[in-house]
Structure 1
Amino acid sequence: MELVLASPASTVEKRLNLFERYLTLWVGLCMVFGVLAGRWAPGMVATVRGWEFGEGSHINLPIAVLIWLMIIPMMMKVDVSALRNVGSRPAGLAITLFVNWMVKPFSMAVLAWLFFRYVFASWISPSEADQYIAGSIILAAAPCTAMVFVWSYLTDGDPAYTLVQVTLNDLIMLVLFAPIIGLLVSGASSLTVPYHVLFYSVLAFIVIPLAIGTWLRWWLIGRYGQQWFEKNLLPRFAPVTIVALLATLVLIFAFQADNLLTKTWHVALIAVPILFQVYLNASLAYGLMWWRRVPYSVAAPGALIGASNFFELAVATAIALFGAESGAALATVVGVLVEVPVMLSVCRVCNSTRQWFRVEVPA
């Protein structure tokens, strides 16, 4: 391999598809539709909200099914065999793991505690602060799984590195996701985390989807080949995951109708620490990559992985722990609302500063 300076002019312009580009708009429309449904058909919404796996479980059956329709296709992209290349980019991998698991959830806990307990104390009650802190922590404790491939593509990131990082993060989540949430939510708020519900959430929304996705990937590739699986099959799931995401948001906003109508200002307040956290972690990861002279194709996705979130898992976990009408669920949904514009801004920064790094190309 030969190291050469990157040329910004050589970069081919890349674009998001229609859904990804206007995700914030779609989320806003879902908010409007859901709130209207909650106000105009409260009886129907209450009935749907009551469909749970068990009384008091907080795990809403329709939302759980929709979450599975989103998460399983994402898990089918995870290639466990890619972990044999885990040592090929040790510096970049170490930095992104450090930011993802040692900095990101803890910095979010501090920022959420600071903003909701003190900076915004005049506008929100202590109980609301507890809920928003919990939701923010849950959001930050789930590293991105799906959209990070889009961000990596937009910044000319190394696909192999991105795949290794996502696969490793998913496996680490099996072990660390629940303990980190339990520790930080209990420490930064007065809420009691029902650990048995948290355990079942990890089982339902990480372990089972990962196992199903891994098995389906192995079986389908063995039967039809990797080319057919990646080029023909996976793209067919895109409309399913999109519809499932939008339907989930409509239900959540319908359940949150009263909160949103009486606390619209809170959506903007919740977004503030989330934005701080995203830019903090992206800057930290990107700066450490530059300091360690990591190639740009690794530095860019490393910064993006450290900044974005697995919001589908975060929403499902917040609902399971505190209910679909809770402030914690609302906080995770705000994460969905700001995800695309914020991450696109990080992509623009990476693309405009690629000359700071060196990029690997075939000799």
Structure 2
Amino acid sequence: MGLFERYLTVWVGLGILAGVGLGLLAPGAFQAIAALELAHVNLVVAVFIWVMIYPMMIQVDWSAVKDVGKKPRGLLLTLVVNWLIKPFTMAALGVLFFRYLFASWVDPQSASEYIAGMILLGVAPCTAMVFVWSQLVKGDANYTLVQVSVNDLIMVVAFAPIAAFLLGVTDVTVPWQTLVLSTVLYVVLPLAAGMATRALLQRRSKHAVADFVAHLKPWSIAGLIATVVLLFGFQAGTIVAQPLVIALIAVPLVVQSYGIFAIAWWGARWLRLPHEVAGPACLIGTSNFFELAVAVAISLFGLHSGAALATVVGVLVEVPVMLSLVALVNRAGRRAVRPVRGENFS
């Protein structure tokens, strides 16, 4: 494990502090950056997110999708949790907390935007960080690639319709054109670029993909930290002025994370999946593709909206929560889920 993965919480924490500090010291600079947008898509954020996720997309082995039928059960768990459970529980928790439990502390307009941000997080299953979580729990790298590949393929066609449906159900007006544009910009195009790059590299040698990704890794790290700095810089004034709001948003996000993990872990035990498949499957369902959620929230509602703030709080919450779940998976180890003797686990 590299220095970045080992101290991930530290780097993200420093990025958050730097973003808030710079946002307070130089608000004009962040306002100027916020103005650099095209069709409601911030160009600087788009560049940083592309820098961050492009190397991850190159690692996705789409040829592995053809072998999914041979080992379906671990993949089935991931897909059911990600697409049939998680988006809807996130929306339900958002409504429960901000329309009822926290209603006296949050005005209706802000509540709707916070719910919208939570929904966008819930509809975006993790892609970029999956490989980190899988490595931390000693997961099956090839099977993780299959899970990521199929999830990304589904996300291309399902993200916008599910997001629009849930946002509409919670009485938020959805500009379909912007939502589809964001999906194309942050999912379809990076995937296409990653596939094309991978195909070209594989023609050179069998080690070319790994070597190229290793070369890009520092840029990916820089993209992640720069994105965190920028997002927290945009929201610095709100974060300092309304710490209670940050805490209120964090509560349902934490409940969602541990709740979804519990559902996935129970499913893994019921399916009797081995540790190296169960661990990544549960963590993929729990984690979020926050890069996409943040980008779409900014495109739909604006940089300074409650929806964008909710997705940024998702970044704040995700890293420590996911690391705690990694520790839980590793503590449970191979004793937690065991396949039936002589049975093909998937």
Q: Same fold (TM over 0.5)?
A: yes
Secondary structure, in 3 states, of the residue corresponding to 2:69?
coil
What is the aligned partner in structure 1 of residue 236 from structure 2? 257
Aligned AA (1:175): V
1:248 and 2:227 matched: yes
Cα deviation for residue 243 of structure 1 reads 1.2
Q: Report the AA paired with residue 71 of structure 2.
A: R
Pairing of 1:29-68 with structure 2 (within 5 A):
29-53=14-38, 57-68=39-50
2:59–2:209 contact (8 Å) kept in structure 1:
no
- RMSD (Å), alpha carbons: 1.8
Match of 1:228 among 208, 212, 215: 208
The answer to whether the 8 Å contact 2:23/2:30 transfers is yes
Contact map agreement 1:104 1:141 (CA 8 A) in 2? yes
Structure 1 unmatched ranges of 5 or more: 1-15
C-alpha distance 355-218 of structure 1, shift in aligned 2 (>3 A): same
Distance apart, 1:278 and its partner CA: 1.2
Q: Partner residue of 1:266?
A: 245
Q: Are the aligned partners of 1:83 and 1:168 in contact in 2 as well (CA < 8 Å)?
A: yes
Post-superposition offset of 1:355: 0.7
- State the shift of 1:194 in Å: 0.8
Secondary structure at the aligned position of 1:305 is classed as helix
| Distance in 2 separating the partners of 1:29 and 1:100 | 30
Does residue 356 (structure 1) correspond to residue 341 (structure 2)? The answer is no
Could you tell me which amino acid in structure 1 is paired with residue 277 of structure 2?
V
Is the aligned partner of 1:321 residue 2:300?
A: yes
Residue aligned with 1:87, SS: helix
Cα shift readout 1:322-344 (whole Å, capped 9, x = no counterpart): 11111111111111112222112
| Alpha-carbon distance in structure 1 between the residues aligned to 2:103 and 2:49 | 33
CA distance in 1, matches of 2:294, 2:218: 20
Moved more, 165-174 or 290-299: 290-299
Whether the 8 Å contact between 2:58 and 2:209 is mirrored in structure 1 is no
Deviations 1:45-74 (A, max 9, x none): 222211112xxx321111111111112111
Bigger CA drift: 177-186 or 16-25?
Answer: 16-25
Q: 1:142 aligns with which of 124, 131, 136?
A: 124
Distance, in Å, in 1 between the alignment partners of 2:10 and 2:98 is 27
Quote how far apart the aligned CAs of 1:240 are: 0.7
1:211 corresponds to which of 192, 209, 216: 192
- The alpha carbon displacement at 1:210 in A equals 0.6
What amino acid is the match of 1:206?
V
TM-score (norm 1): 0.89
> Within 1, Cα distance between the matches of 2:2 and 2:110?
36
CA distance in 2, matches of 1:249, 1:99: 27
Map residues 110-121 of structure 1 onto 2, 5 A cutoff.
110-121=92-103
Tell me the CA shift for residue 29 of structure 1: 3.1
- Identical-residue share of aligned pairs (%): 52
C-alpha contact (below 8 Å) 1:72/1:212 kept by paired residues: yes
Runs of 4+ in 1 over 6 A off after TM superposition: none
TM superposition shift of 1:35: 3.0
Residue 87 of structure 1 aligns with which residue? 69
Query: Which residue of structure 2 lines up, in the alignment, with residue 97 of structure 1?
Result: 79
**TM-score, length of structure 2 as denominator length:** 0.93
2:180 aligned residue (195, 199, 203): 199
Aligned residues: 340
Give the corresponding residue for 1:300: 279
Tell me the distance in 2 between the aligned counterparts of 1:285 and 1:339: 17
Q: Matched residues in 2 for 1:35 and 1:341: separation?
A: 19
Contact 1:20–1:340 under 8 Å retained in 2: no
User: Structure 1 residues 125-134 or 16-25, which shifts more?
Assistant: 16-25
Return the letter of the residue paired with 1:167.
S
Aligned counterparts of 1:352 and 1:37: Cα–Cα separation in 2 = 39
> Aligned residue for 2:267?
288
What per-residue deviation string (whole Å, max 9, x for no partner) do you get for residues 128-162 of structure 1?
Answer: 11111111111111111122122222222221211
**Secondary structure, aligned partner of 2:37:** coil
The answer to whether the Cα contact below 8 Å between 1:252 and 1:325 also exists between their aligned partners in 2 is no
Please tell me whether the aligned partners of residues 58 and 324 of structure 1 are also in contact (alpha carbons under 8 angstroms): no
Q: Output the CA distance in 2 between the equivalents of 1:156 and 1:40.
A: 42
